[in-house]
Amino acid sequence: MNAAIVITLLCSCLLHPTFGQDCPSRQEIHGSLKQVQKLLSAHEASYLQSLRNLKKKINLLQSSAGKQATRAINGTCPKLEAPINGRKLGKSHSVGHEVHVLCDPGYELVGTESRVCQESLSWSGQQPTCRDINECTSSPCLNGGTCVDEVNQFSCVCAKGWAGATCQSPVPTFFVTMTNTSAAISPATAAAAASTLPAATTGPFVRPSRCTIIQGTTHCTCEPGYTISGRDSNTCTDIDECELFHNGQAGKLCLHACVNTPGGYRCTCPAGYNVTRDGRSCKDIDECATRQNNCTKDQMCINTYGGFQCVRVDCPKIPNATYVKTSPMRCERNPCPLDNKACSQTPNSFSYHYLAVVSNLSAPRVMFRVSALRPIGETLRFSLLGGRQTRRHFTVQRSDRVTGQLMLVSPVQGPAMLEADVEMSELERRVQLGRYITKVTMYVSQYEF
């Protein structure tokens, strides 16, 4: 039975006696109250017991915490000194703290590296010391060399005929052949020359070799680009790369010309070309873009392979018609007087085009296309004007209904200048409505690049 419910029930009966009928009798109440009292005292007893237990625990905790606190403040281990040739890491000497010892380079630690301040207020482990490492223990000196131990390093005293940090290399005996090329040898090297060999033919293409005597055998070497020569291998002769690789498997060394140089070679290009970045080929210089041309204001600069051309577009003088320049490259006929048939049969316009091509261009190939923008007639006809010279190299074909093309039919060897006039005529029931001339000038270079 819940004590709280019993109490509520009893109180309501005492305060509201009108409910007499439902309330228990006096005797019954007395019994219930006694029961509740018993319950409460039992509760009280257990509550007090737990309180006591709690107090005990708190006291225990307090005392242990207090002990620790006094230790932490007061308990220190004796001061530790850093070992000679070493360092100590960690400043606190309190209980529970650690210090570490590091040795300087070249020294090794003997003892305990990490030490802890124990509750007994003493350090764990042994007092460390830093001991010089004996680099000679591994016998690093070769070929009978004697090792000398030094701090953090060793040195070798080599036996005769050997040199190097570990006496690993045989001592070379250098000598430089004396020649008359003062530029070839620095004065210091020349002075150190041990023997003088008969002067060889000299010059930048012949240089002294560099010889080394290793344990009785002579080895002579040359700088790159030179080959050993002479009876005693005492000279180095320049390799003529231009000759040697004239037509090598990888093709010509240079696209245009090769110049042999002491120890090397160099490619050159004809005037109007610069050597490309790879040093082998030639690329055209655009004189028109770089102002390396002398064209006047009323001229146009046409860059060609290896040069440039200054051109001036002048409108043609044709009987019965007059022309006016409508753009730098185009002339158009002034309107013809009425009933002037001779005038109306002259070309309506002349267009000028300049092409730069390399020599020996493969053929056949399309060089130029002419197209009618707004054809008025029902038929367009394309034809090539000019003599036999022109027809030897060119032909004109229709490529679609409104387009004709100028074809190169055979390779041209430069330097040359070729001209071809392409006529486009508009027809309506076989009556010519207009003629349009395109004048193509082709500058063929001397070289194929």
- Residues that bind ligand NAG in the complex, under the rule CB under 6 A: 73-74, 180, 274, 285, 294-296, 310, 319-320, 340, 342, 360, 362, 411, 413
Cβ 406 to ligand NAG shortest distance, Å: 21
Identity of the residue, 288 or 295, whose beta carbon is nearer to ligand NAG in the bound complex: 295
Cβ 199 to ligand NAG shortest distance, Å: 6
Q: Quote the Cα angle for 442-445-449, to 5°.
A: 125
Cβ 144 to ligand NAG shortest distance, Å: 44
HSE-CB for 209 with a 13 A CA cutoff: 24
The two three-digit tokens of residue 317, written as one number? 């003088």
Cα gap 126→118, rounded to integer Å: 13
What is the DSSP-derived secondary structure letter of residue 8? H
Q: What amino acid occupies position 362?
A: S
Identity of the residue, 129 or 202, whose beta carbon is nearer to ligand NAG in the bound complex: 202
Given a contact cutoff of 8 angstroms between Cβ atoms, the answer to whether 112 and 139 are in contact is no
- C-alpha torsion angle, residues 189, 190, 192, 193 (rounded to 10): 120
Cβ 63 to ligand NAG shortest distance, Å: 16
Identity of the residue, 285 or 420, whose beta carbon is nearer to ligand NAG in the bound complex: 285
Identity of the residue, 319 or 387, whose beta carbon is nearer to ligand NAG in the bound complex: 319
Tell me whether residue 6 is exposed, middle or buried, using C-beta atoms within 10 angstroms of its C-beta: 0 to 12, 13 to 18, 19 or more: middle
Place of tokens 């002048």: 314
Cα gap 57→55, rounded to integer Å: 5
Identity of the residue, 126 or 340, whose beta carbon is nearer to ligand NAG in the bound complex: 340
H-helix or E-strand containing 45? helix 26-74
Q: What amino acid occupies position 368?
A: F
Identity of the residue, 310 or 427, whose beta carbon is nearer to ligand NAG in the bound complex: 310
Cβ 291 to ligand NAG shortest distance, Å: 12
Identity of the residue, 308 or 394, whose beta carbon is nearer to ligand NAG in the bound complex: 308
Cβ 285 to ligand NAG shortest distance, Å: 6
Cβ 277 to ligand NAG shortest distance, Å: 9
**H helices then E strands: how many in the chain?**
6, 30
